[in-house]
Amino acid sequence: MANSSDIVLEVDGLSVDIRTAGGTLHAVRDISFSVKRGETLCLVGESGCGKSMTSLAIMDLLPKAATKTARRLAFAGEDLSRAGKGRINALRGNSMSMIFQEPMTALNPAYTIGNQLVEAYCLHKKASEVEARERAVFLLGKVGIANAAERLGQYPHQLSGGLRQRVMIAMALMCGPELLIADEPTTALDVTIQAQILRLLADLQRELGIAMVLITHDLGIVARIADRVAVMYAGQIVEEGPTASLFNAPRHPYTQGLIACIPVPGRTEPGGRLGVIPGVVPSLVGEVRGCSFRDRCTKAQQACLDAPPVRETADGHRWRCILENAA
């Protein structure tokens, strides 16, 4: 059993509401999960199910129109929902860091790679520029960038997309974070480079003992690098469990549909995308009653009009369905 001090991120009852012209959109609805030191949790689900809002809520980077509530949102035992802006700013980019989908949104085109790597380190660690540059060279080497010292003098536009994403990873690691959130970190890249970079990220995360939340559509990568998987649908986590258990014995009809098109577990190639399930996601504006998947579920019944129970096996595999095993 994990010691409670091993838990780096604890999310309990997190909801995110977004004010829209049509009313309040419940983008994330009462989700709970935790991530331990050295563990990778993959968040998967169709576009719009709330994955990005979840990561932005954790990092306190939600857009203005969005508000979050949580019973508890804790980093290394500290309740962030009670922490002030100053404290969050001190943690973000330091002990908690994030890698975004498109590096050009996070890298400033007007500054050299070196300046950007060094800045946060000097700020958070009160280190000298010489120390910061040494660490930057070390980390650029770690993420597989040759001639690291020379690269420091280059601007983002002088690098390929794959190199920029490696720089982003180095930047996220500069301050030695305990928690790393990576939101579709490779979608902007070629498929072969995507696999290389995700593998690099997974290797570094394991070597450094970081807790990682990885959002990806690539179920092949999930099968390879996740310790646990959480499946989101319409703002809720409908199933969560250890990777092998989730792939070998998916319990929720939605998860079963998602992985139906994947060949044999353990032999999935990178690039295996989410399955396409007929039907549409319910509107998240206003109250969603009962099981949100029921309109697309081939096993739906009258009882699905009520909120489904959460079922759990001894190995910590949980799902929200009236069926004990929907297979």
Ligand X SMILES: Nc1ncnc2c1ncn2[C@@H]1O[C@H](COP(=O)(O)OP(=O)(O)OP(=O)(O)O)[C@@H](O)[C@H]1O
What whole-number distance in Å separates Cα of residue 34 and Cα of residue 10?
4
CB 320 within 8 A of CB 309: yes
Residue 92 is given by DSSP the state: B
Task: Please identify, among the stretches 17-25, 82-90, 144-152, 298-306, the one whose residues bind ligand X according to the rule CB under 6 A.
Answer: 17-25
CB 113 within 8 A of CB 120: no
The answer to whether 58 contacts ligand X (rule: CB under 6 A) is no
Question: Closer to ligand X at the Cβ: 7 or 49?
Answer: 49
Q: CB of residue 269 vs ligand X: minimum separation in angstroms?
A: 21
Separation of first and last alpha carbons in the chain: 29
Phi (first) and psi of residue 275, to 5 degrees: -65, 160
Contact code string over 194-233 relative to ligand X, x by CB under 6 A: ----------------------------------------
* Burial status of residue 232 (CB atoms within 10 A of its CB: 0-12, 13-18, 19 or more): buried
Task: Please identify, among the stretches 50-58, 143-151, 188-196, 293-301, the one whose residues bind ligand X according to the rule CB under 6 A.
Answer: 50-58
Amino acid 75 reads: F
The answer to whether 105 contacts ligand X (rule: CB under 6 A) is no
Residue tagged 């930057």 (tokens): 136
The answer to whether 52 contacts ligand X (rule: CB under 6 A) is yes
Q: CB of residue 17 vs ligand X: minimum separation in angstroms?
A: 10
The answer to whether 49 contacts ligand X (rule: CB under 6 A) is yes
Question: Closer to ligand X at the Cβ: 45 or 220?
Answer: 45
Residues 266-285 that bind ligand X (CB under 6 A): 284
Question: Closer to ligand X at the Cβ: 132 or 214?
Answer: 214
What whole-number distance in Å separates Cα of residue 132 and Cα of residue 114?
9
Which residues share a beta bridge with 72? Answer: 12
The answer to whether 22 contacts ligand X (rule: CB under 6 A) is no
Q: Helices 161-173 and 129-142: crossing angle, nearest 10°? A: 130
Q: CB of residue 217 vs ligand X: minimum separation in angstroms?
A: 7
Which residues share a beta bridge with 89? Answer: none
The answer to whether 18 contacts ligand X (rule: CB under 6 A) is yes
The answer to whether 53 contacts ligand X (rule: CB under 6 A) is yes
Residue 78 CB partners (closer than 8 Å, separation 6+): none
Task: Please identify, among the stretches 47-55, 107-115, 189-197, 306-314, the one whose residues bind ligand X according to the rule CB under 6 A.
Answer: 47-55
Chain residues binding ligand X by CB under 6 A are 18, 20, 25, 27, 45, 47-53, 63, 65, 284
